[in-house]
Structure 1
Amino acid sequence: MKATRMAGHLIRRLHQKSTQVFASKLQQEGLDLTPVQFSAMDAIRSVPGLDQAQIATLIAYDRATIGGVIDRLEKKGLVVRTVSTKDRRAREVRLTEAGNELFQKALPVVFNLQNDILDGLDDVSRDVFLKLIETALREDKA
């Protein structure tokens, strides 16, 4: 089997395409977010008051580097961290009004660019592909 036909190589190339499409489409709209920042904001919006470790778990991101993602969102004025009432060592993260507004502007753009990532597939093939990825990523294959 040629290396260029191996799953890891093809996944890396698709990830590169996904990241490029995401950056290009958001930049066209004047929106300054990375895919990970968008995912973190989606988690924060869905479950306000999460701490950084919970955000990392929810978006399947490295716990050691999520702090930098949250730092950048905070510097942009998109999130605010406060001391947790449940655990004084933890910081709860919430979207600011500006963060919520930016997320609402980005959401339809991100939704619409999904087809551009898999533009070589028809609707049926895209659905099958996404189901296969979900199956491959499922951790509890029991």
Structure 2
Amino acid sequence: MTTDLPTTSLPSLDDLPGHYIRRLQQIAVALFMDELKDWNLTPVQYAALNAAARMPDIEQGALARAIGFDTSTTGGVVDRLERQGLIVRKQSPQDRRVRLLATTAAGRALLDEVQPGVAQVQERILAPLPAEERPLFLRMLRTLVEANNELSRAPREMPDGR
């Protein structure tokens, strides 16, 4: 026996910002995969490679926090990037148990090569907005993410203030 709630008590998905945020994330991933299909690179792999290039010799846990991903997901991503020759793990001179990450020449070359496509993804995401509204949208989006960062399963934390 089933009992259905009257539909008038349910909010419309059109009134739920979370619904639109989830949809926009799906759209952003689809656009990324479309623009970068020739490189077989995912958005998470790009984030990890970008962060490792910007923060040489970063510890893997710090990389996970810098890109806002859990450590197990980041570990798998780093494993794949290492197998592709885009990242290397080095032993820390201060602590032999710690592995530091650095991009290889091939990793840096890939970042340079995909940068126009990454920029095109951003343009495509924002294309429906008038140019003058895009900075406001980005500012508001950043405010929401930063204000709710600690509620995430993997809060973002930039090492050394970077």
- TM-score of the alignment, normalized to the shorter chain, above 0.5: yes
| 1:102 aligned onto 2:102 | no
| 1:73 aligned onto 2:81 | yes
Where do 1:80-99 residues align within 5 Å?
80-99=88-107
Cα distance in 2, alignment partners of residues 26 and 138 from structure 1: 28
Report the Cα offset of residue 139 of structure 1: 3.9
| 1:26 aligned onto 2:61 | no
TM-score, structure 2 as length reference = 0.80
Give the letter aligned to residue 12 of structure 1. R
Give the aligned partner of residue 9 of structure 1. 19
TM-score, structure 1 as length reference = 0.91
Give the aligned partner of residue 121 of structure 1. 129
Cα distance in 1, alignment partners of residues 26 and 143 from structure 2: 22
Give the letter aligned to residue 88 of structure 2. V
Extract unaligned runs of 5+ from structure 1: none
Give the aligned partner of residue 50 of structure 2. 42
Give the aligned partner of residue 56 of structure 1. 64
- Mark the structure with the bigger radius of gyration: 2
Bigger relative contact order, structure 1 or 2, given CA contacts below 8 A and separation 6+?
Answer: 2
Report the Cα offset of residue 4 of structure 1: 3.4
Report the Cα offset of residue 138 of structure 1: 1.8
Give the aligned partner of residue 111 of structure 1. 119
Moved runs in structure 1, 4+ residues, more than 3 A? none
| Percent identity for Structure 1 against Structure 2 | 37
Cα distance in 2, alignment partners of residues 140 and 25 from structure 1: 30
Cα distance in 1, alignment partners of residues 99 and 143 from structure 2: 33
Extract unaligned runs of 5+ from structure 2: 1-10, 150-162
- Superposed CA RMSD in Å reads 1.7
Larger displacement relative to structure 2 (131-140 or 68-77): 131-140
